[in-house]
Amino acid sequence: MKLETERLILKEINESYTEDILKIRSNPYINQFVKRNSPRNNYEALEFILHVKNKMQQGEMIFWGISHKDQRNLIGTICLWNFSEDRKTSEIGYELLPDYHKKGIMSEALTAVLQFGFDQLNLQTLLAFTNLLNKDSQSLLLKHHFSLEEGRKDENNAENIIFSLNRPKTD
């Protein structure tokens, strides 16, 4: 389930990425925008990886680690998850270490995952939940033609706003 772009490899994660996942998911800058229990140590990061692998085996999630083609270390993650029962809608989630912000990396990864979701999975709609203070994430979504779902609320996090993108029409 590997995707490649000009600069990046999006790949399945495994136990060998425990330290990278700990670094990403415990990053204070990222976590100011995300409501979650962040791993505090390698053991908790490993538990997360095993959870992701289980969800992937059950078909409930597709999760990629993001790395530069010439490096092994992960610099971020991106996933499709929370599929609708008819598998026509999915939520997309992503995170990137702050040192790599403003370099087009997440835009490049998002383009590949959008194409995969629409072309390979035949999704009709993608949803993105982002913190109302996370202007970089909102800009990324708008750049990729997501629309703000005015008035729609995230039942699990009142600080989130919701964006959606429908499958592009083909002529």
Could you say which residues of the chain have pLDDT below 50? none
pLDDT for position 151: 86
pLDDT digits (tens, 9 = 90+) for 64-74: 999 999 999 99
pLDDT for position 54: 97
pLDDT digits (tens, 9 = 90+) for 124-151: 999 999 999 999 999 999 999 999 999 8
Q: Give CA–CA dist 37/161, Å, rounded.
A: 20
Give this prediction's pTM.
0.94
First to last CA, the chain: 29
pLDDT for position 11: 97
pLDDT for position 171: 59
Q: Give CA–CA dist 19/46, Å, rounded.
A: 9
Q: Helix 105-115 crosses helix 135-143 at what angle (to 10 degrees)?
A: 50
